Structure 1
Amino acid sequence: MKINSSSIIRRFIIASFLANTTLFAQQSLRGTLLNQAQSFGVDSLVAEYFRVKEIPIREHNQVSLLTSGKDKFADLLEHIEKAKTSINMEYFNFRNDSISHLLFSRLGDKVNNGVEVKILFDAFGNTSNDSPLKNDYLDKIRSNGLQIIKYDPIRFPWVNHVLTRDHRKLVIIDHKVAYIGGMNVADYYINGLKRIGEWRDLHCRIEGDAVQDIESIFVDMWNKEVNLLQRDSIIYETNKDRNQTNAKVAILDRAPISRPTVARDFYTLSIEGASQRIRIENPYFVPTTSIYKAILKALKQGVLVEIMVPEKSDIPFTPDAMLHKLYKLYKKGAHVYLYRGGFLHAKMMTVDSTLSTLGSINLNSRSLRYDYEANAVFFDRKITAQLDSLYESDLKKCVRLDSLYWKKRSSWRKAVGWFANLLTPFL
């Protein structure tokens, strides 16, 4: 039997990484092993980790990036119009505004044409929304034939449920087309908000073999509430023209009990395994210790680390906590950019031109430790290049975080940042 030494070494690296992550063994061992991984490439390293964790990497996918709310909702409505059998949606929230009204109207039309529509939204996400869906409006939606339910309503005294919310943003149409990304359903993705300006976000449409993994996430969550769907009854259609749809995609599904560490592991391993460049866009950059240390290690190894965050935020104190952390990284060599073109809500990362991801995962404790999340991970140079190009376009609307910028901040804001940073395990 022929032994593949590279494969054995990769598996040893992953096994050691998982042992260190799970059992908190010496960090130096993990660092030594990951240094060896440079010869394999970060995409091979992550692929091996996914194999160990039984996260499938699906071939034969066509991926279309949707880089604005206008693009996302126009594309989504177009494919809803083409639906023949089923539409499944899972969102953190629907804002009670013009775009959700239009969406529910179109979905009602599809129900009248025999399409089954199931919609799941997070109960806490709805109540924390400044314009929530009220019960009377939900009754009206249901009267039009749409099956719409709240995920895990918080009932006294079980207030601990506020910690584990469904933060995903997914749509699956006819078991063939899926949407995944960072956008909920709200008209401010198109019109912006007066206080923070245009909403800059990112979504994508996937057609191909990875659709089954996105729909599997929906089925699991729907069954938590109503237990009606049977996964075996869903028939997935593979791409007929596989030569034209060859993007490799994995769906990173973070769940509090069954898969609590996969998001942290993925980001930590991807960052530590980088050899050239890491680019991050994230609206709430207050990372866990493992990810923060991974960035420091990458900087020490000479990797170019570029981090982009919004200068303004929709959540109080978050910019102060972010800047406190980011200024430390700047002093260690990171290139930090503050987006001024509105509110940057995109959650995206590219690594070494070979690996990239986008989805709902924020680099904060809520996403990485508590919430249900979903990202698409691309083992594809073309998609990664498109995301890099998008990053470079966003750079034109940024200002650098440097010593001069920091000096201009008041002592009060710096103190707020220091204090807010103490709360990052809960942000």
Structure 2
Amino acid sequence: MTQPRDSIELTSDSLVLHFLSESGIPISDNNEVKLLKSGREKFIDLFESIRRAKHHVHLEYFNFRNDSIANALFDLLAIKAQEGVEVRTIFDAFGNWSNNKPLKKKHLKKIRERGIEIVKFDPFTFPYINHAAHRDHRKIAVIDGKVAYTGGMNIADYYINGLPKIGTWRDMHIRLKGDAVDELQKIFLTIWNQETKQHIGGDVYFPGHKEQTDSTNTVVAIVDRTPKRNSRMLSHAYAMSIYSAQKNVHIVNPYFVPTSSINKALRRTIDRGVKVTIMVSSASDIPFTPDAALYKLHKLMKRGATVYMYNGGFHHSKIMMVDDLFCTVGTANLNSRSLRYDYETNAFIFDQRTTAELNKMFYTDIEHCTQMTPEFWKKRSPWKKFAGWFANLFTPFL
């Protein structure tokens, strides 16, 4: 584990590392990070890791869509269970209910009959509003305590095939090896034991990690948001990262209706002359959200931000790159739902090569964007402008 430094250079990455360390966030420096920049990359990599599992497979997702990729996953998990591998999966009750291809009782029964433990997080009970406040929006996979995954993707075909109404689904995931895996394992086991009343744990789930080579000694901080325990930590980590920027901030986020603290950080950073560039999708899977986002983004554009609307499908990635020095990839949207209510997990990656790889993707995606300009805004219909203003009234709950 990294130790607090005696002297800290006032660069954005060192400032944020110091802030996270002082806040008690686990930071490790012997990690290997692989970016998985499409659904196809993510599922090929994840399935291969599961095939190699010897002791356990732990999966925590907002939802498993009842489609071909999920069925293939459960077939593979059943094979691993027959081999004696412990298989534990948990999904969010609301995420399943809001999914148009949910896992129903009959599906869960068949899955359990194949030796797979599968649990709903916070099942619906009368009066059925108990789940409105806090949802488990994480996407975490841990295999044998040695390799882990997190990012924006659930288990669904559309991450590969897209959806008819919005086209290609662009998303981002990462694979981790090293001590950061232990932190994702702890997060999974905490929620699993909480929901099942089991007491799963011990050294067998934390086998330790050999030192990586010099080329892969990447510093990673796992920033988790658990309601009522560290409710504001993820929001603070985002805000501090933005405040620390000295040259540039690049953001891609699908539901850009930021909380007041994030919005304030962006305004003040723009005012300091830092180049802030934000990319959101023209299309969305949630009504009114694009209008609310454009209302917010128009104000930031007038202040000096560069705003792009991605036209190549739905960009669902939740990433941010700062000063070409560090980045974050994870599950959190820049909205109230993620930053004030839900269970979320982001990896903050302090590595110039990983950040450069994300920036290269960012600049390539700009080629498929329309830039927001004063002329663009004038062409928007009065109805669209009103819809954005009206939707913005609900941003504390979106």
Relative to the length of structure 2, the TM-score reads 0.96
1:46 aligns with 2:12: no
Q: Could you tell me how far 1:160 is from its partner in structure 2?
A: 3.9
1:401 aligns with 2:361: no
1:421 aligns with 2:392: yes
Match of 2:260 in 1: 289
Amino acid at match of 2:223: L
1:252 aligns with 2:223: yes
Distance 1:243 1:269 in 2: 28
Amino acid at match of 2:345: A
How many pairs does the alignment contain?
Answer: 393
1:339 aligns with 2:281: no
Amino acid at match of 1:319: P
Indicate the SS of the match to 2:127: coil
Match of 1:21 in 2: none
Residues 54 and 5 from structure 1, CA distance in 2 versus in 1: closer, same or farther, beyond 3 angstroms? closer
Match of 1:322 in 2: 293
Match of 1:202 in 2: 172
Amino acid at match of 1:329: L
Indicate the SS of the match to 1:96: coil
Q: Could you tell me how far 1:243 is from its partner in structure 2?
A: 2.9
Indicate the SS of the match to 1:253: strand
2:329 paired residue among 330, 355, 358 = 358
Amino acid at match of 2:28: R
Indicate the SS of the match to 2:365: helix
Structure 1, unmatched stretches of 5+, are 8-38
1:301 paired residue among 272, 294, 301 = 272
| Greater CA drift, 194-203 or 222-231 | 222-231
Q: Could you tell me how far 1:51 is from its partner in structure 2?
A: 1.4
Distance 1:352 1:105 in 2: 44
1:59 paired residue among 9, 23, 29 = 29
Indicate the SS of the match to 1:109: helix
Distance 1:158 1:128 in 2: 14
Relative to total residues, which structure has the larger helix share, 1 or 2? Answer: 1
Distance 2:334 2:289 in 1: 12
1:171 aligns with 2:141: yes
Distance 1:387 1:229 in 2: 39
Residues 325 and 113 from structure 1, CA distance in 2 versus in 1: closer, same or farther, beyond 3 angstroms? same
Contact 2:170–2:313 (Cα < 8 Å) also in 1? yes
Structure 2, unmatched stretches of 5+, are none
Amino acid at match of 2:365: D
Q: Give deviations 1:213-256, integer Å, cap 9, x for gaps.
A: 00100001001111324433423321254434300111110111
1:184 aligns with 2:154: yes
Contact 2:60–2:138 (Cα < 8 Å) also in 1? yes
Distance 2:321 2:256 in 1: 16
Q: Could you tell me how far 1:416 is from its partner in structure 2?
A: 0.6
Distance 1:387 1:241 in 2: 22
Match of 2:194 in 1: 224
Q: Give the percent of matched residue pairs that are identical in Structure 1 and Structure 2.
A: 51
Indicate the SS of the match to 1:161: coil
| Greater CA drift, 170-179 or 396-405 | 396-405
Amino acid at match of 2:166: I
Residues 286 and 241 from structure 1, CA distance in 2 versus in 1: closer, same or farther, beyond 3 angstroms? closer
> Which residues in structure 2 correspond to 1:89-128 (within 5 Å)?
89-128=59-98
Distance 1:229 1:243 in 2: 37
Q: Give deviations 1:157-189, integer Å, cap 9, x for gaps.
A: 261431100000010001000001000000000
Residues 209 and 302 from structure 1, CA distance in 2 versus in 1: closer, same or farther, beyond 3 angstroms? same
Match of 1:373 in 2: 344
1:147 aligns with 2:117: yes
Match of 1:22 in 2: none
Distance 1:308 1:268 in 2: 18
| Greater CA drift, 227-236 or 69-78 | 227-236
Indicate the SS of the match to 1:224: helix
Indicate the SS of the match to 1:90: strand
Indicate the SS of the match to 2:72: helix
Indicate the SS of the match to 1:272: helix
> Which residues in structure 2 correspond to 1:269-288 (within 5 Å)?
269-288=240-259
Contact 1:154–1:162 (Cα < 8 Å) also in 2? no
Contact 2:94–2:131 (Cα < 8 Å) also in 1? no
Indicate the SS of the match to 1:316: coil
1:261 aligns with 2:232: yes
Indicate the SS of the match to 1:231: coil
Indicate the SS of the match to 2:278: strand
Relative to the length of structure 1, the TM-score reads 0.90
Amino acid at match of 1:352: D
| Greater CA drift, 157-166 or 409-418 | 157-166
Amino acid at match of 2:120: K
Indicate the SS of the match to 1:159: coil
